[in-house]
Structure 1
Amino acid sequence: MRKFLFLLSVSALLPSISQAQESAAPLVESDGADEDARTLTITGDGFAASTELTGESVSILTRSEIEEVQGADIVRVLTRTPGVAASRNGGVGSFTGIRLRGAEAEQLLVLVDGVRVADPAAPGAGFDFGNLLPGTVGRIELLRGSNSTIWGSQAVGGVLLVEGREFDGAEASVEYGARDTLYATAALGLEGERYGLTFSGGHYDTEGFSSAAAGIEADGYRQWQAGARGRFALTDTLDVVASARHADSRLEIDGFPAPAFTLADTAGFQETRESSGRIGLDYGGERLNLTASFSLSDTDRDTFDPGFGTEPSFSTQGRSERAELRGRYFLKPYVVAIAFGGEAEWSRFSSSFDPQQDAEIVGAYAQLEYRVRPLVLNLGVRRDEHDRFGGATSLGADAAWLLGDGWSVKASMGEGFKAPTLFQLYSDYGNAALEPERSVSYDIGIEKGARRSGRFHFAVTAFQRDTEDQVDFVSCFGVTGGICTDRPFGTYDNVGRARARGVEAEATVGLWAKFEAGAAYTYLETANRTPGSANFGNRLARRPDHALTVWGDWRTPLDGLTLGFDIRMASESFDDAGNFNALDGYATADLRARYDLGPVELFGRIENVGDAQYQTAAGYAQAGRGAFVGVRAGY
């Protein structure tokens, strides 16, 4: 049967580039059943296409690379792509923010199995990567740069798509290691002539270590997670698709107890329940592709302080529902197409101190796509209307010039916007007059190949993004008039401006058919450009100027044994907007091994071999040296 690689894909006819095209010939599409997932992107217009058919900067991580990295730490996977800066308040499971090309963590749009999973109840309505464990992830796609034309609100820094596993068979893995850590996953895939169905789940439990660098009491974390993805072909051109995911987590946290009010050991903990699901119809005709879907995401958080009883000391509930239609019509097959779509999203939040508030946003877009060798050109426009603040228009364009022999020059310009969150609008600190954050980004680069593995892949890109009307918190201490009227504890306002620019590069190379190496590097300059701010000209917090990850794998002469390493380095940064609190640069190294015995694979690693002591958020410790061993079996 057809191999359905992507939940949002609407046809078995997936675009690819013919290797035997003459100049000025159309970039034809072919049956995508055997396409390598490392060469396909859906961020261009929502449909699966070769990465050569977009001028945007995209990196793709497949299941094989995720397994290669090993373990439950999503940061160790994501830092294999350029542009990524991660900060975390402790160990695995602690709050984890991903800043892409210097954008705020809340300005990265995250979708899991096609569902937007940002928490509307969080102050910035961002996604906490602490609860995303990679054991059941099948694929990650990362688009860098503003792209609200196709993806709407929040796509200021970029778009990160996560897909669960899809396969035919059964597999289970378990690993145990440092800090009494156990991580077990299992997946079962069923595939027939007209259907495909995959169930997956995982359990993670660790004693952990003290999140507070000055603490001594270990902070544990556990999570149960389950998911399912399915597809059923009603006809040769119409499929029903569905997905569901639920994660239940418990994290022990440190805080700022009296009388010192400095970060220290506490007995507090937080329980989080994340649920999401999507159901849709995919139609793939000769010229017209359509996908229609309804999705929802729900996040509930309860924070407990045992010193004040057994009931939660603070709770939040955030929910969003979304109806969506995407389409693509070929005006001239494989040469000129119109991609189009429309969405409506309803979100709401409430907390222990805030009554329920809700908002609605609707949007529509169109993109013209031109594909005649050697030129690929995409031009798009979008309009969104928010029932609380009004509307926003976004433009986007990208182009690729195919030079031959796998080389191409790529460039893109994109606009992004992020609607103010319900917390920023209607909490005790809210300001109902807020406008959306806006950005415009540019990049240009050259690329060889479209795969992260193989004989040779290389890409280098220069980029810049300017952001204005960023929503920042305004202190009202000692101020009673103006925006601070009736806001004694502060409020939010559109006062922030920022710039981020730099160069990023990634490469993989295969040597001697036995050794493969890769690297991802980012040089980043950031600046606060808020007029009149005391922090004008300062570097943005938690964004190192230099970040480098280097990895390699050697298939040894001993049949089935592979040895590997990952080295991660980051330069110093600042933890605060005032640039008073410096975070030292650091370097860590991991050693890995895998022994393939056919249906069974043994694996193990040593993380942070040098036992580096470092922080990515001031006062919060990171994991020291730890050893882990595991076994994976499947058929």
Structure 2
Amino acid sequence: MAAGAALPDSARAQDFEPFQLDAIIVGGGLTPIEAERYGRSVTVVESKDLQEQQIRHTSEGLRALPGVEVSQTGGVGGLTQVRIRGSEGNHTLVLIDGIKVADPTSGEYDFANMLSDGIERVEVLRGPQSSIFGSNAIGGVVNVITKTATEPGFHAYGEGELGSEESIGGNLSLNYANDYARLTVSGAQRNTDGYNFSGGPSDGADGNAIGTLNARAEFDVNDDIVIGTTFRRIDRNSEYDQFNYGAATVADLVTDANLETDVTNNFASAYATMDAWNKRFRSEFFFGLADIDTIDIDNGAKTFDTTSTRQQLHYRGTVALDNADVESANHLVSTQIESEYETFKNNDAQLVYSPSQLQKESRQLYGYVLEYRGSFFDDNLTIQATGRHDENDDFEDTDTWSVGLSYLLPNQTSRLHTSAGTAVQNPTFYEQFGYDPATFIGNPNLTPEESIGYDIGLEQRLWQDRVVLDVTYFHSDLTDEISTIYDPVTFASTPINEDGTSERQGLEVSAEMRLDNGIRLGVDYTYLDAHDPDGEIEVRRPRNEVGVRAFYQLPNDKTLIGAQLRAVADNFDFDYTAAGIVDPSNPERIQLKDYALLNLTAQHELLPNVTVTGRIDNLFDTGYSEVLGYAGRGRVFFAGLQGTF
């Protein structure tokens, strides 16, 4: 795990290797870019990081990363939101193999749906990214890339794990590659009886079952043409408790109930890359499809049943300006033309209030992007500039831009990186069209939220590249923020664009250290100051959060032990008790308890290609809450076995 760096395997004193800073950031623009040339802020989490920390749900690998805040309503299966730099959950754009996976209904992706199985890397791009990706990228982008076969021949990987709370899980991956084809199929299933989200007796435990199927195929038609396809299916059933708005006390906000949700996601893509003019010009075609079905159940009866879809189609063309091929050129111009078609539909006539609510709602969006990237002064200075125009059929069009600069100082160990840009967030289907005409009325006159922000940072390599330190300051202003107002007579609510500005600023610090004795250390810290247009502190975004990682590779080179500490302070949430909602449009804020959690991991190679694993989460059984009323997970134990062949 590193800020723009790919970390090599642990090494002994006699074969120490420094950090490698030439990792490729796939989602850094219209073309991949080396981390050392990238002016914006990024953290890359590799599959190796996920394996070493024995992370089974992707959101756990994002906690405590610089500028990232994760909140969960209870444990596994609870609504899991990822915010970046103090923005809202629906201001984080999530991509899986280029497919936008957020639900158009809410504009947000629930990370409870994402296992880490089958994932090769996760790029967390911080700061406004709409000039590249369009709506939803106000805070940043989580770009997920699944695994593909790389080694020639047939290979397989399997893993199984048992743990506390009657947890059982595992995955199996099959891979084949030759000179012109790369094929991967993998599946994972993880079930748990869970614990009681309300914090009550254990016989009210809230369970979760989630399965994922991945497939990826890529073919080299010839030296200039590559075609491929990806598929990912997710099936999840989660139990949860009743939230009681206006409860008498905090303890009464969440109570035991027989509630559950069934989620089915299908994501698919097809793509082709074609080179011409001696590889100086590259054309890329991409089609992506997302189909998201959600059903909520109360005591066996459906209370919610919807389907939303998204179709993406884009063409991207890139030309090298300096007589080199696209891969090695120092000066590139890229353009992209894309269309996006989204739909939403209520599926059950018994769950709506009028026949009109069964009508499928849809909207069409078009985007036009132009990007220049150039490197100067022996590649020490790189400039990246992007502009975008979006045409929206149901609300006003938008224009966004961004500029990034990376400069390697003459000492060759200090790198300045800075960026600035604008971003937008389109209204969601609920906000546009409403849900229940008696309680939630849509507003067709909403305009997109708009943000402008910048950051400036310094990356410093020390001690013959054994240490990499990065410090970044960021600031952004959000206008036309969409919020909800309530009618005190009818209790109906409707979304509006607020006046004023929401300000977010802070400091991100990351450090990675490798010692000659097999010890690796990592520290990430975020200070965040985020307020709404009224000057009130933004909730579920801790002001202070720090993560510390330590790993020790024993001299036998077969045993790795690790510890991960995460501490959170100054986190607030809305007080939805009766005393806190005297004004429903502006609930009181209440500070949550500060906490620190310690996890331990260990793995040992029993035989060649056979490894036994073990971990303890929340070693000291610390009581905590990330969302008011919902109890955090207590101490749990896991043991597993991994094998490759």
TM-score (norm 1): 0.88
Letter of the 2:384 partner, please give it.
N
- Aligned residue runs from structure 1 range 187-336, under 5 A: 187-214=173-200, 216=202, 217-256=204-243, 262-285=253-276, 286-306=279-299, 310-332=300-322, 333=324, 334-336=329-331
Alignment equivalent of 2:488, drawn from 470, 477, 495: 477
Provide the secondary structure at the position in 2 that maps to 1:255. strand
1:399 aligned residue? 405
Instruction: Report if the CA contact (8 A) 1:440-1:467 is conserved.
Output: yes
Alignment equivalent of 1:441, drawn from 444, 450, 453: 453
- Aligned residue runs from structure 1 range 33-112, under 5 A: 39-112=23-96
- 2 CA distance for matches of 1:614 and 1:115? 35
2:639 aligned residue? 629
- 1 CA distance for matches of 2:542 and 2:629? 17
- 2 CA distance for matches of 1:411 and 1:580? 34
Instruction: Report if the CA contact (8 A) 2:554-2:560 is conserved.
Output: yes
Letter of the 1:85 partner, please give it.
E
Instruction: Report if the CA contact (8 A) 1:78-1:84 is conserved.
Output: yes
Q: Which moved more, 1:84-93 or 1:37-46?
A: 37-46
- 1 CA distance for matches of 2:330 and 2:57? 42
Q: Deviations over 1:390-430 (max 9, x none)?
A: 20000111111111434210000011001111111012421
Instruction: Report if the CA contact (8 A) 1:420-1:436 is conserved.
Output: yes
Q: Deviations over 1:491-517 (max 9, x none)?
A: 111116311101101111100241111
Instruction: Report if the CA contact (8 A) 2:457-2:470 is conserved.
Output: yes
- 2 CA distance for matches of 1:56 and 1:449? 18
Matched, 1:414 2:407: no
Instruction: Report if the CA contact (8 A) 1:194-1:233 is conserved.
Output: yes
Alignment equivalent of 2:333, drawn from 320, 334, 338: 338
- 1 CA distance for matches of 2:495 and 2:122? 34
**Aligned-residue offset at 1:263:** 1.6
**Aligned-residue offset at 1:569:** 0.5
Alignment equivalent of 1:491, drawn from 488, 491, 494: 494
2:623 aligned residue? 613
**Aligned-residue offset at 1:335:** 2.7
- Aligned residue runs from structure 1 range 16-27, under 5 A: none
2:582 aligned residue? none
- Aligned residue runs from structure 1 range 370-409, under 5 A: 370-373=374-377, 374-403=380-409, 404-409=411-416
Provide the secondary structure at the position in 2 that maps to 1:424. helix
Instruction: Report if the CA contact (8 A) 2:625-2:632 is conserved.
Output: yes
**Aligned-residue offset at 1:466:** 0.7
**Aligned-residue offset at 1:42:** 2.0
Q: Deviations over 1:21-42 (max 9, x none)?
A: xxxxxxxxxxxxxx97971102
**Aligned-residue offset at 1:129:** 0.3
1:573 aligned residue? 571
1:460 aligned residue? 471
- 1 CA distance for matches of 2:138 and 2:184? 33
Instruction: Report if the CA contact (8 A) 1:45-1:339 is conserved.
Output: no
**Aligned-residue offset at 1:257:** 6.4
- 2 CA distance for matches of 1:264 and 1:41? 45
TM-score (norm 2): 0.87
Provide the secondary structure at the position in 1 that maps to 2:162. strand
2:519 aligned residue? 515
Instruction: Report if the CA contact (8 A) 1:175-1:183 is conserved.
Output: yes
Instruction: Report if the CA contact (8 A) 2:165-2:192 is conserved.
Output: yes
Q: Deviations over 1:600-626 (max 9, x none)?
A: 011101110011100000011111111
1:113 aligned residue? 97
Alignment equivalent of 1:503, drawn from 485, 488, 507: 507
- Aligned residue runs from structure 1 range 129-148, under 5 A: 129-148=111-130
Provide the secondary structure at the position in 1 that maps to 2:498. strand
- 1 CA distance for matches of 2:184 and 2:125? 26
- 2 CA distance for matches of 1:229 and 1:615? 38
**Aligned-residue offset at 1:214:** 4.0
Letter of the 2:158 partner, please give it.
A
Q: Deviations over 1:204-245 (max 9, x none)?
A: 100000111245400000011101111101111111111000
Q: Deviations over 1:292-340 (max 9, x none)?
A: 111111111111111xxx4412112111101011222112232321121
Provide the secondary structure at the position in 2 that maps to 1:390. coil
Instruction: Report if the CA contact (8 A) 2:261-2:297 is conserved.
Output: yes
- 2 CA distance for matches of 1:478 and 1:39? 58
% identical equivalent positions: 27
Matched, 1:357 2:361: yes
Instruction: Report if the CA contact (8 A) 1:539-1:579 is conserved.
Output: no
Provide the secondary structure at the position in 2 that maps to 1:557. coil
Residue-pair matches, total = 581
- Aligned residue runs from structure 1 range 547-586, under 5 A: 547-576=545-574, 578-586=587-595
- 2 CA distance for matches of 1:48 and 1:228? 23
Q: Which moved more, 1:255-264 or 1:338-347?
A: 255-264
RMSD: 2.1
Q: Which moved more, 1:611-620 or 1:310-319?
A: 310-319
Q: Which moved more, 1:249-258 or 1:354-363?
A: 249-258
For the structure 1 residues 277 and 258, does the alpha-carbon distance in structure 2 shift closer, same or farther, using more than 3 Å as the test? Answer: closer
Letter of the 1:145 partner, please give it.
G
Provide the secondary structure at the position in 2 that maps to 1:264. strand
Q: Which moved more, 1:238-247 or 1:488-497?
A: 488-497
**Aligned-residue offset at 1:290:** 2.0
- 2 CA distance for matches of 1:201 and 1:111? 19
Letter of the 2:253 partner, please give it.
T
Alignment equivalent of 1:604, drawn from 605, 614, 623: 614
**Aligned-residue offset at 1:578:** 4.4
Instruction: Report if the CA contact (8 A) 2:136-2:426 is conserved.
Output: yes
Q: Deviations over 1:90-120 (max 9, x none)?
A: 1112110011110001100000111000101
1:165 aligned residue? 147
2:542 aligned residue? 544
- 2 CA distance for matches of 1:163 and 1:449? 28
**Aligned-residue offset at 1:281:** 0.5
For the structure 1 residues 36 and 375, does the alpha-carbon distance in structure 2 shift closer, same or farther, using more than 3 Å as the test? Answer: closer
For the structure 1 residues 605 and 138, does the alpha-carbon distance in structure 2 shift closer, same or farther, using more than 3 Å as the test? Answer: same
Q: Deviations over 1:334-382 (max 9, x none)?
A: 2321121011000011224333211111010101211113211112211
- 2 CA distance for matches of 1:200 and 1:61? 20
- 1 CA distance for matches of 2:615 and 2:243? 35
- 2 CA distance for matches of 1:632 and 1:448? 37
Matched, 1:367 2:371: yes
